[in-house]
Structure 1
C-alpha cells in the first residue's frame, strides 16, 4: 500500500516513508529539524486513509533525483564525502531502532570527522530528502541574494576561465543593454544567424 520514499501528509505534517513491512512502516517528518525515524502501525494508517486525514502528496524534493553535478565539482565532492561519513548508519537495515542508530553515531563521531550537530543534520537531510546521495548536495540555490540582480563592479561575474586564455569581459549595464537589443532585434526574430549577430554586437561595443 505504501511505497518507500513516497511522501504523505497527516494534517499539516509532511512525512516520508523510509521503510515498509507487512505490519508497519518507518517514516520521518520532512520539515522537522529535530525529527528522527518513527515506527507506525499500518492498521493506524489505513484508518487515517479511509478518514481522508492522511493523503499522498507530491514529493517536495523529487527534483533532487535528477540533479547531475559535474564530476569532480565542489558540490559532488561534498556530497560524496558526506555520504561516506553516514553510510554505515543509513545502510543499516535497522537504522530506525534507536539502540542501533546510537551505536553508529558513537562510532562515526569517534572518527573525529564531523561534530554531533553536523552529523545529525546530514542524516536528517538524507532521510528527509529521499534517501539518496543527492540528498546531501549543498543548497547553493539558497545562497546569496535570492531574486536580486547581481551587478559586476571590479571583475566579471561567474567562474574564471580554465580552458581558454584571458580573464573574460566585464559586462556592465551598457554592454547588457546592447546584448538585449541585439538578441531582441536580430536573434529572436531569426533575421540574423548567431555568427552575424555576434559580429553586429562586436561592432556596437
Structure 2
C-alpha cells in the first residue's frame, strides 16, 4: 500500500532555490523535477503546485504543450485526452493498478515537457524543433514529416499559444504559418523579447 507523505513548504522552497529560473537552465529544472518524482511520487495536485512554483505561466504552457495537453489518444491510448492529461484533479488512486499507471504516465509526460519545452544553452533552434516533432510522434497521431499533418500541428500550435505570441503568428504569410520551424522561431523570439521587456521594467 502506497502511504502518501505530502511535501512541506520548506521542501518546496528548497526545490525552487535548487532549480533556479527555468528560462536560464531548463535542464536543471528538469533534473530537480525528476528527483522529486523519484523521492516524493507527487500526485496530480502536487504536480500543479510544482508547476506553479518552478515555472511562470508561459513556461508552464510550453511544458504542458509538450507534456501532452494536445495529445490525440485515438488509436494510441484508450479513453480521452482529458482522462490521460486532466485539467482538473482526477483523484487517481496509486494503490489501484489503473490509477498507478495513469499517474506515472502523467508524471513522465510532465517530465518530458520540462526537458523539451524550451531549448537549453547547448540546444540549437533546429534541435528544439526536432524535440517538438519527437513529441508529436510520441504522444499524438500526427506525423510531422507529412506536409498535410504538419499543417495540423502548426494549427494546434497557433491556437494554443499565449495571446501575444498568437498575434505574432497570425501575422505571418500563409506559407510561413504552415511551417512549424518558422512558427517556433517567431514564438521563441516573442517569448524572449517579453522576458527582456519585463526585466527592463524592474
Give the TM-score taking structure 1 as reference length.
0.26
Q: Which has the higher helix share?
A: 2
Structure of larger gyration radius = 1
| RCO comparison, higher one (Cα < 8 Å, 6+) | 2
Whose strand proportion is higher, 1 or 2? 1
